[in-house]
């Protein structure tokens, strides 16, 4: 099942509720559950990534302690980041936990990075938005897997053991560096700058009966692309075609969610 849920219009912050208040079987927030972990019988996967791109331009360095990167959101539709993440979960569960029933959920209303981080932070305190709690009750979920956008350092490998980038990047998108001189590995052509693809995602597993997080992993992945032709080397945005830009990010979402799932699920019964 792949259901779409619409967050309450009143706003995530105002509608966030304690799981303990909504589900009587839960322990109060902050209280660790006693006894063995509950088996994962019905897993609700909430991928809240959406389809928007974040474009980041490195700012002028005046103080290395201050992040002066410039960011702009690029609204897009039907890119398929949620589908890529959900496919990774489905493939993993089919291989490793075939007996678990899956329920897939996506938000129909795009959530800002701030709202997504609020959901992830709230989960650490056994707090979730009301619309997620309603889905938990309706589907009788034993566990919740949250996939949200996060933040991390701008770091793009250009040589073995060496990365470039400065400041931080957020969510999923591209970092445009027009100053750092790099070389295309395939062609040997020098490039004035590079295009950096990044995915910054948090994956969390919550046990419904206790409200505890039993697994959590942050994904901080970056790839650097140099121009392959003269026109690309002069304008790093052209280092990838429009379809390649979308495919590169989708692949990064899928591959990295698949990479961390074994660690996230390791402590679940």
Read off the pLDDT of residues 11-40 as tens digits, 9 standing for 90 and up: 433 333 344 333 333 333 333 344 467 899
Number of folded domains in the chain?
1
Which pLDDT score, from 0 to 100, does residue 22 have?
Answer: 36
Q: What is the pTM of this model?
A: 0.82
Choice among 33-37, 175-179, 194-198, 244-248 with the minimum mean pLDDT: 33-37
Which pLDDT score, from 0 to 100, does residue 75 have?
Answer: 60
3-state secondary structure the chain: CEEEECCCCCCHHHHEEEHHHHCCCCCCCCCCCCCCCCCCCEEEEEECCCCCEEEEECCCCCCCCCCCCEEEEECCCCCCHHHHHHHHHHHHHHHHCCCCEEEEEEECCCCCHHHHHHHHHHHCCCEEEHHHHHHHHHHCCCEEEEEEECEEECCEEEECCEEECCCEEECEEEEEEEEEEEECCCCCCEEEEEEEEEEEEEEEEEECCCCCEEEEEEEEEEEEECCCCHHHHHCHHHHCCHHHHHHHHHHHHHHHHHHHHHHHHCCCC
Can you give the residue range of the structural domain that contains 108? 2-265
Query: 189-237, pLDDT tens digit by residue?
Result: 777 788 999 999 999 999 999 999 999 999 999 999 887 766 555 678 8
């Amino acid at each position: 099942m792949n259901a779409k849920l619409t967050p309450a219009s009143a706003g995530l912050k105002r509608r966030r509720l304690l799981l303990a208040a909504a589900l009587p079987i839960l322990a109060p927030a902050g209280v660790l559950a006693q006894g063995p972990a509950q088996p994962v019988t019905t897993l609700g996967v909430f991928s809240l990534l959406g389809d928007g791109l974040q474009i980041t331009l490195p700012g002028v360095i005046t103080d290395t302690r201050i992040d002066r990167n410039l960011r702009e959101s690029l609204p897009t539709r039907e890119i398929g980041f949620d589908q890529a993440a959900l496919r990774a979960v489905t493939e993993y569960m089919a291989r490793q936990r075939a007996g678990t029933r899956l329920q897939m959920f996506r938000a129909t209303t795009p959530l800002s990075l701030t709202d997504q981080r609020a959901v992830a932070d709230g989960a650490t305190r056994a707090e979730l938005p009301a619309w997620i709690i309603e889905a938990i009750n309706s589907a009788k979920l034993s566990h919740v897997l949250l996939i949200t956008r996060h933040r991390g350092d701008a770091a793009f490998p250009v040589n073995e053991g060496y990365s470039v980038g400065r400041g931080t990047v957020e969510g999923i998108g591209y970092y445009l560096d027009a100053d750092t001189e790099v070389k295309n590995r395939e062609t040997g052509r020098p490039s004035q700058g590079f295009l950096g693809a990044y995915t910054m995602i948090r994956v969390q597993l919550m046990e419904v009966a206790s409200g505890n997080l039993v697994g959590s992993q942050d994904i901080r992945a970056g790839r650097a692309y140099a121009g392959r032709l003269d026109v690309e080397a002069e304008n790093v945005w052209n280092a990838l075609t429009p379809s390649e830009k979308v495919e590169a990010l989708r692949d990064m979402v899928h591959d990295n969610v698949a990479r961390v799932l074994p660690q996230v699920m390791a402590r679940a019964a």
